[in-house]
Structure 1
Amino acid sequence: MSRRSLSILAGAVLALVLAIVAVATMNITPGGRAGGGTGTADIGGAFTLTGEGGETVTEADFLGKPTAIFFGFTFCPDVCPTTLFELSGLIEALGSDADKLNYAFVSVDWERDGPEDLARYTSSFDDRIRGLAGTEEQIEAITKAYRVYYKKVPTEDGDYTIDHSASVYLMDAEGGFVGTLSYGETHDSMLEKLKRLATQS
């Protein structure tokens, strides 16, 4: 075989290897697990929290219908009220399909947000959004399961705020992760995602 033929063959082999690597990695998230909104990502799982009426709530209470779940806190100055306001508008826009989904707001501020605080807070939005509170251990467990980032940040007045993930997590009726609504995403894009999710119920 000539040197030119060997060079062409080597180039073809290299291209094939690169193509295989690209296919193998294109559905991997930065965390190293399968993603791509196919329900295969390692997001979600068992949890135990407290509802607005003081009742115990677990992941089993949300099975049977897809769920949109958001993590934040009632003292949040902008991201949380904006997101819940937008979610309320999306619920209204869904019409009759809205009742095919669950909606949850989990507070990551276990020190200040109890069930009654969440009840007052969520009453400003759509009444189908369920506020969920928990102890430090319970919130640590669910945020780890959902891979939610949050961090307490001291403020100059001696109080604190909380930095946290700003996406709404979308779960199917079996509790599998299927995607997110991103902060700042267009209304039409988010509505289309929720409509598709509703058809899975």
Structure 2
Amino acid sequence: MTPNEKRFALIAAGILVVASVTGYVGTRIALHHGPTLDSYGNEVGGSFRLMDSTTGTMTDQTFRGRWMMVLFGATHCAEDACTPALTSMSAALDKVDPGKRKAVIIFVSLDPDRDDAERLRLYGQSISPRVVAGTAAPGPLADLAKEYHTTVEKRPDPEWTYAMQMSPRFVVMDPETRYAGTVDATLSADAMTEALKKIMAPKD
């Protein structure tokens, strides 16, 4: 290797290190930036700020104008319940929103220690383009779960040491971020479709 080639290799390596450190620090800052929650006068649900699966920050306002189906859980989900629930909701939305422009699934991971940005990206990608996954620091997550009337609960797991309990229902927020109802997360895709048709039907 010539001196110029060595110099180029060192510069390239240095750039990679700086980029990696910057990305890590940015993720940690986003993760620990505690949101100030606003219920917007809702009985259930309201504002949120999460580190999304691209290491950026997403809020409820990111999706304003679209229906949001909000589910809490983790990639290490108790009883492997999260993947079937998200898959069924995605299939249901494909029927009520075939153009894929009106609705999105917000999956909130309650396990920030294990669910980093890359893991969340791959997890959402494995289920559906509709699934947008994010997380936050433990304190803000507990506040957010309370806002959405669910809890943060760990369950012992023989394979993973522990797993996070999935919230029992999807909380449905309308395009104006108003609480519109809930859908049982254990329903079949067809049953979710019928529930969504009622919730999302135009109001007189």
2:110 alignment counterpart:
108
Q: Distance in 2 between matches of 1:99 and 1:199?
A: 16
Q: Which amino acid aligns with 2:47?
A: A
Residue 197 of structure 1 and its aligned partner are, at CA, apart by 4.7
Alignment of 1:114-193 (within 5 A): 114-155=116-157, 159-193=161-195
Q: Which amino acid aligns with 2:94?
A: E
Instruction: State the percentage of identical aligned residues.
Output: 27
How many residue pairs end up in the alignment? Answer: 163
Q: Distance in 2 between matches of 1:113 and 1:200?
A: 37
Secondary structure, counterpart of 2:98 in structure 1: helix
Q: Is the alpha carbon distance of 1:125 and 1:155 closer, same or farther for their aligned partners in structure 2, counting shifts above 3 Å?
A: closer
Q: Which amino acid aligns with 1:106?
A: V
2:76 alignment counterpart:
75
Q: Which has the larger radius of gyration?
A: 1
Q: Is the alpha carbon distance of 1:47 and 1:41 closer, same or farther for their aligned partners in structure 2, counting shifts above 3 Å?
A: closer
2:55 alignment counterpart:
54
1:88 alignment counterpart:
90
Residue 146 of structure 1 and its aligned partner are, at CA, apart by 0.6
Q: What RMSD over aligned residues (CA atoms) do the two structures have, in Å?
A: 2.5
Q: Is the alpha carbon distance of 1:135 and 1:187 closer, same or farther for their aligned partners in structure 2, counting shifts above 3 Å?
A: same
1:97 touches 1:195 (CA, 8 Å); kept in 2?
no
Q: Distance in 2 between matches of 1:171 and 1:106?
A: 14
Q: Distance in 1 between matches of 2:148 and 2:138?
A: 15
Residue 64 of structure 1 and its aligned partner are, at CA, apart by 1.7
- Relative to structure 2, which stretch is displaced further, 186-195 or 106-115? 186-195
Residue 56 of structure 1 and its aligned partner are, at CA, apart by 0.8
2:142 touches 2:151 (CA, 8 Å); kept in 1?
no
Q: Is the alpha carbon distance of 1:56 and 1:153 closer, same or farther for their aligned partners in structure 2, counting shifts above 3 Å?
A: same
Runs (4 or more) in structure 1 with deviation over 2 Å come to 91-98, 153-158, 183-189, 192-201
1:66 alignment counterpart:
67
Alignment of 1:29-48 (within 5 A): 42-48=43-49
Q: Distance in 2 between matches of 1:60 and 1:121?
A: 23
